[in-house]
Structure 1
Amino acid sequence: MSTTPLARAVALAALGSCLTLPSLAQAEFIKDSKASIEARNFYFNSDFREDAGQSKQEEWAQGFLLRLESGFTEGTVGFGVDALATFGFKLDSSDDRAGSGLLNQDRSGGSQDNYGGLGLTAKAKVSESILKVGALQLKNQAIGSSDSRLLPQVFRGANLVSKDIEGLTLDLGYLDEVNNRNSSDYQDMRLNTFTNSGIQVSGVNQSNQFMFAGGSYKLTDSLTAGYYYSNLEDLYKQHSFNLIHVLPIADGQSLKSDLRYARSTDDGSSNVDNNAFGAMFTYSLSGHSLGLGYQKMSGDTGFAYIGDSVDPFLVNYVQVGNFAAKDETSWQARYDFNFASIGIPGLTFMTRYLTGDNIDRGAASEGKEWERNMDIAYVVQEGTFKNLGIKWRNATMRNNFSRDIDQNRLIVSYTLPLF
């Protein structure tokens, strides 16, 4: 992820101001700083269950992520600087197996040998409000940076988060470019026009202005409400609502309700018109969790969100599918188990099954799809190999309108705290 003139200027200015302050003012800047390096070894295999076209995507790569986060200088306004340096390189691939999203693609359709970059973020803090400018990783109702491949997706812009009022979190942001998870360069954002979304764009599908404003408020100890407004200029506008309630039932037992609704409309250059309703209910007992989900799309199109690997705020967005096509209705059953409850901390298991139907395919027959996922993960808790993580992710996707997929991902990661 290449640094930009704006990010470099702001970051260097903040760093320069920190270095000119008296040593006392720099105390918290140094004391609260932290750094870590993460190594990710990632094997990805998508097997397409038809003879036509590319038979599979299969690649193996190694990535490194160096994260630096400073504290804040002392005073009414505190300043700091963060940095994210990334590097990924190919271990195995070929032109007929590329396209997994692990590596930067080359002009021939294959994958480049390596890629990476450096992102800088200047930050300032007043009381419980923090402003960040530069490279940003975001996760809220309006936008979610994807980190499900070798290197993470990063946006360029500004983000203000305020927690000055107890129970209230305010979140404002402006973004102009995105560096996708398999890219070394920033580029304009675009509207996702996925299969059977019904979304069409007149003219060029790109925008260099995305803004969002919203937040959450803790109404009671067990009930939190959220709202966000977002706008990808010229392409879509969206109002997103969220209500989360956690009901304690008994010792070690709870019922979590997660309700979501989003209204998306066009912004001049598209036909976006979507209502998205989602609900997820999760019953937890000791290390067990059982979840049931429902998601319904209505309107003239499917769900609207930024393309190229952004994670949409949907209860049925999973490993392969988003279950957000035009008029689609989908259900999910999920089971999780945390082995810490039986004395094996660090070991977790998840499996889920989703089915969707009523997809509007125009003159073609009704679209249907289903997906099954399984995750098994273990993170070493102590000893020489503390923080070593191993995860296997498996997915099976079947439908009557696109390619069937059997997918496996094996991720071995190790995070070493530097200070």
Structure 2
Amino acid sequence: MTPARPLKVALLGCGVVGSQVARQMLEGGDEFQARVGRRLDLVGISVRNLAKDRPGIDAALLTDDAAELVARKGIDLVIEVMGGVEPARSLILAAMAGGASVITANKQLLAQDGPTLYEAAAEAGVDLYYEAAVAGAIPIIRPLRESLVGDEVTAVKGIVNGTTNFILDKMTTEGSSFDEVLAEAQRLGYAEDDPTADVEGLDAAAKAAILASLAFHSRVNLDDVDCEGITTVTADDVATAAELGYVIKLLARCALAPDNSISVGVHPTLVPANHPLANVSGAFNAVFIESRHAGQLMFMGPGAGGAPTASAVLGDVITAARNRVRGVAGPGESSYSARPVTPRNLVPSRFYVALSVDDEPGVLAKIAASFARYQVSIQAVRQESEPGRPLGQGARLAILTHAARVGDMKAAVEDLAAMPEVTGGITLMRVEG
């Protein structure tokens, strides 16, 4: 009997993740063949710099012509780990048009133009898999896309950026400032020289858009995500949160509202210390799902790094290869619900408000009246002497509210900022629960 033809695989990108994917494919050929039923042949790797040394990777596989690579005859699978919107989008579309299934880790492209990729895959009858796009090694895409399709997901909450979790965790455990921990994260390689995408929440926002799209069977793109970073979080905020029984995390939150709309946001959030997400430390990621019938589920693990992310990529490679062998395609886009996105000012949340005030009779009453004017109910108030001011002349207030609409809360804060008794900047954060 003639052996079945090997499946030809092209790899776009050979950086931290791509090099790990290539090495594991080259080293695990027999194992992958046993799992798929066909041999997987890595036939080419597109790179920017052909001269760069890549230990363990045959230089004959390398090419700096990505377009030529995806256009080669007989390519079955294309793995895209180069990142960015272009030329990744054009290369993926060309690969699909040529009949290849695609495995990608490109969160930015999926969050900005996922429907285009889905439509191209459906038209060509090929697969689009992207487990590694959201939380590294953590299997979260497949559970939302396949395992929970018989249930109704009501909320997805996640720590989906390892850099910011490392920073906030260090601020919590060591009392360090944001700038001190960011510098340490850069020295350790957890943060880029330009950390904007991480610390301003942009990376997490792309992942939130993908999670919301899958969880609620609706098209949600990056522009729909209300996004706020952690650059304004101070050591004092972290310490006060701890005294109140909370831990500050950069939380991506997607929720189904009673009116059937979807709220999607990324914000520094006070998480109750007894919540499972509060105990996710270091650069780890975690995703917490609430569903109608399965209840509460949590997935946790390494959210980045070459080897962990390559594990997720190769899981998709095996799945797509098995589909190829059987002549079937996996799940496509599920957007039948077409739920609208909740206007940002109407999203409900509990809030934490911190502000410096003159320590005088009647100040608390004026603040409470301002909150009441905008339908914001106060749950608790904590007062302490203002550092740097004579005893009895200044106070620092930490206020926890009941649930209120974002627009109402922001209007109340603007009202507070105009009061002459308010002497310092006002901190506003979401509170989970």
TM bucket, shorter chain: under 0.3
Name the structure where strand makes up a greater proportion of residues: 1
Greater Rg, structure 1 or structure 2? 2
More helix, by proportion: 2
Q: With CA pairs under 8 Å and 6+ residues apart, which has the higher RCO, 1 or 2?
A: 2
